[in-house]
């Protein structure tokens, strides 16, 4: 049966979480891509309650900001001083007007990220079926340390909840604990809250005392034992935070496998709660899928990928890659050792190869950047190829500029594209070119220094070296150095377009200037 929707859900999140030893409020610590409170809100959403209130206190600016962004319909209820869980519920009820005495109110702790929506729905069903004034979700744990114990009478009925710190030895030996999740009838809850005292080990108004008060009044109190005690796990310190993270990951990875994803190594595969996977996807070891990452059918990701908010198209393959806010087209291949930064969009059957970094870069279908390149602030058309060690030089030290490359373009290896610049459809650039001006469609752009040959340089400057011996064996001439002809030194060589000189005159230019020969490390100084 489906119960009527609860009138209200109240989530308690005002506590300091002292044991976390953190300036971040406890409920804002994250596992599996959501805050602890985010997980609880998500589970609570299953109940589709008319109102959801979150009690905030410690670090409330941060918690309220998170709620405004992620759950704008939620009403924050401010608890200035944390006088206990009962006090917190009293404050939350005061912000919810129009509650009728028979309305159902569900209370949840903000630090229980493993609770599932199904468990909450089953609790509410049980509560209605039992016509109870209060129904407690309990769990049986091997180690109940720190939890409130559920005390039952001889007939098995719930009598009270006793906090660990207030428990005598016999009570402390009870292994059935209070998960901190309850369904209440609003009228009896409000009446009992008004009667709470702070006479206990912590000097707080315990919500748990409501149970004993209702039993004393003869009101029906029910309990439901959670099927999987893992769901009861609260987070009070960072050891429990990690344990809850591990448990969530196990749950998510198992669900993914059951839904048709091959996970080669579940222990080294992390999938955040908001990741979506189509069937027949494969995830290889050491892979981390974060945020709203999506893998389409047939995609193969890993080993060793970290993808955040990234969409991987059908049949695409991604290996040893870090990507953030990127889109990878169907049938494309990425990696190994690629870094796709926000705004990267690779087309169908495209390729971003090894040691390629991209940012705000859109590539049309079948376009490839096979090796060693940086592509930033660019649009590239279809079927184009970007040669090895090409750099899209997008930053002039002040502002970023765009590069536009057409379709069927061939960018030669080691091209520097100085943005803003446009290369037209079907154009080529020569290897090693620095492209500062637009290239018209179909043109070849080259901008390179002439190659100079300095005959006999090794014999003169590296005599008796392995290189000199190899050169001599290959019949290299040994040309004595000509005395310096006080000629001005052409620093790099003639401009490709203006070069009219050749041979000996080029040689003369280099005399005495060999220390500065570009590209010859250590030339002129023996090391």
Residue ranges binding ligand UD1 (CB under 6 A): 12-15, 55, 79, 82-85, 87-88, 109-111, 147-148, 161, 163, 177-180, 206-208, 234, 236
158-162 and 149-152 strand pairing? antiparallel
Residue 16 CB, shortest distance to ligand UD1, in Å, is 8
Give min distance, CB of 169 to Ca ion, in A.
23
Among 33, 188, 234, 493, binds Ca ion (CB under 5 A): 234
164: which 2 tokens?
A: 């660990």
- Which is closer to ligand UD1, CB of 234 or CB of 376? 234
Smaller CB distance to ligand UD1: residue 16 or 455? 16
173 Cβ neighbours under 8 A, 6+ residues apart: none
- The whole-angstrom separation of Cα 51 and Cα 104 is 11
**Which of the choices Ca ion, ligand UD1, none does residue 422 contact, using the CB cut-off of 5 to 8 A by kind?**
none
Catalytic-labelled residue, pool 58, 126, 371, 401? 371
Query: What, of ligand UD1, Ca ion, none, does residue 55 touch, CB below 5 to 8 Å by kind?
Result: ligand UD1
Q: How far is the CB of 40 from ligand UD1 (least distance, A)?
A: 9
Q: Which residue's beta carbon is nearest to the bound ligand UD1?
A: 148
For residue 112, give both structure tokens.
Answer: 């229980």
Nearest distance in Å: CB 111, ligand UD1: 4
Peptide bond into 420 cis (omega under 30): yes
Q: At residue 42, what are phi and psi to the nearest 5 degrees?
A: -65, -45
Q: Which does 233 bind (CB under 5 to 8 A by kind): Ca ion, ligand UD1, none?
A: none
Nearer Cβ to Ca ion (137/253): 137
Going by C-alpha positions, the residue among 106, 35, 118 that lies closest to residue 71 is: 35
Q: What is the smallest separation between the CB atom of 130 and ligand UD1, expressed in angstroms?
A: 20
**149: three-class secondary structure by DSSP:** strand
Angle at 251 between CA 26 and CA 44, to 5 degrees: 55
Q: Which is nearer to Ca ion, 107 or 323 (CB)?
A: 107
- How many helices, marked H, and strands, marked E, lie in the chain? 11, 37
Each residue 95-124 as x (binds Ca ion by CB under 5 A) or -, in order, gives: ----------------x-------------
Check binding of 148 to Ca ion (CB under 5 A): no
What's the min distance (Å) between Cβ of 244 and ligand UD1? 12
Question: Which region, judged by CB under 5 A, interacts with Ca ion, from 97-105, 234-242, 332-340, 423-431?
Answer: 234-242
Q: Which helix (H) or strand (E) holds 138?
A: strand 134-140
Distance CA 246, CA 233 (A): 12
> Considering beta carbons, is residue 17 or 387 the nearer one to ligand UD1?
17
Query: 40 to each of 37, 50, 103, 199, how far by Cα in Å?
Result: 5, 17, 21, 30
* Alpha-carbon 504 to chain mean position: 61
Q: Which residue is nearest to Ca ion (CB)?
A: 234
Selection from Ca ion, ligand UD1, none that 163 binds (CB < 5 to 8 A by kind) is ligand UD1
Whether residue 58 lies in the annotated active site: no
CB 338, min distance to ligand UD1, A:
42
CA-to-CA distance for 234 and 145, rounded, in angstroms? 12
Contacts of 365 (CB under 8 A, 6+ apart): 329, 347, 348, 349, 350, 382, 383
Tell me whether residue 146 or residue 522 sits nearer to ligand UD1 (CB atom).
146
Strands (E), 394-460: 403-405, 410-411, 416-418, 421-423, 428-429, 434-435, 444-445
Nearer to ligand UD1, 160 or 263 (CB): 160
Q: Do the Cβ atoms of 106 and 124 come closer than 8 Å?
A: yes
Q: Which of Ca ion, ligand UD1, none interacts with 14 (beta carbon under 5 to 8 A by kind)?
A: ligand UD1
Residues assigned a catalytic role: 371
| Binding-site ranges for Ca ion (CB under 5 A) | 111, 234
């Amino acid at each position: 049966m489906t119960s009527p929707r609860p009138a209200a859900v109240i989530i308690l999140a005002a506590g300091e979480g002292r044991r976390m030893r953190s300036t971040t409020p406890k409920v804002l610590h994250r596992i599996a891509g959501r805050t602890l409170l985010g997980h609880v809100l998500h589970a609570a959403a299953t109940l589709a309650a008319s109102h959801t209130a979150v009690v905030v206190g410690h670090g409330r600016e941060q918690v309220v900001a998170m709620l405004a962004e992620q759950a704008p319909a939620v009403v924050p209820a401010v608890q200035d001083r944390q006088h206990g869980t009962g006090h917190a519920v009293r404050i939350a009820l005061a912000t919810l007007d129009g509650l009728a005495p028979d309305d159902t109110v569900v209370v949840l702790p903000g630090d229980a990220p493993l609770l599932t929506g199904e468990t909450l729905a089953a609790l509410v069903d049980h509560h209605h079926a039992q016509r109870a004034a209060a129904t407690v979700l309990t769990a049986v744990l091997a180690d109940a340390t720190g939890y409130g114990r559920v005390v039952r009478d001889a007939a098995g009925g719930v009598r009270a909840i006793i906090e660990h710190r207030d428990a005598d030895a016999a009570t402390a030996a009870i292994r059935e604990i209070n998960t901190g999740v309850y369904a209440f009838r609003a009228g009896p809850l409000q009446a009992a809250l008004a009667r709470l005292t702070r006479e206990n080990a912590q000097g707080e108004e315990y919500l748990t005392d409501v149970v004993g008060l209702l039993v004393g009044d003869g009101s029906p109190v029910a309990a439901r034992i959670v099927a999987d005690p893992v769901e009861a796990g609260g987070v009070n310190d960072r050891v429990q935070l990690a344990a809850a993270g591990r448990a969530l990951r196990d749950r998510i990875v198992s669900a993914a496998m059951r839904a048709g994803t091959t996970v080669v190594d579940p222990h080294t595969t992390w999938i955040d709660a908001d990741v979506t996977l189509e069937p027949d996807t494969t995830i290889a070891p050491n892979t981390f899928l974060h945020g709203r990452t999506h893998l389409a059918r047939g995609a193969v990701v890993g080993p060793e990928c970290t993808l955040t908010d990234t969409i991987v198209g059908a049949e695409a393959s991604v290996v040893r890659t870090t990507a953030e806010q990127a889109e990878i087209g169907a049938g494309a291949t990425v990696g190994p050792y690629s870094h796709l930064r926000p705004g990267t969009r690779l087309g169908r059957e495209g390729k971003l190869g090894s040691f390629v970094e991209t940012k705000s870069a859109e590539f049309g279908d079948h376009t490839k950047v096979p090796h060693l390149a940086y592509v930033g602030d660019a649009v590239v058309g279809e079927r184009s190829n970007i040669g090895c060690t090409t750099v899209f030089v997008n930053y002039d030290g002040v502002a970023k500029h765009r590069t536009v490359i057409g379709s069927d373009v061939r960018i030669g290896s080691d091209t520097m594209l100085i943005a803003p610049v446009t290369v037209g459809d079907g154009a080529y650039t020569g290897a090693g070119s620095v492209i500062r001006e637009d290239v018209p469609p179909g043109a070849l752009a080259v901008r390179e220094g002439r190659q100079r040959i300095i005959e006999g340089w090794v014999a003169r400057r590296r005599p008796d070296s392995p290189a000199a011996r190899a050169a001599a064996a290959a019949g290299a001439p040994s040309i004595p150095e000509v005395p310096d002809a006080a000629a001005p030194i052409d620093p790099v060589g003639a401009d490709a377009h203006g070069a009219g000189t050749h041979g000996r005159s080029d040689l003369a230019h280099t005399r005495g200037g060999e220390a500065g020969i570009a590209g010859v490390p250590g030339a002129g100084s023996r090391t």
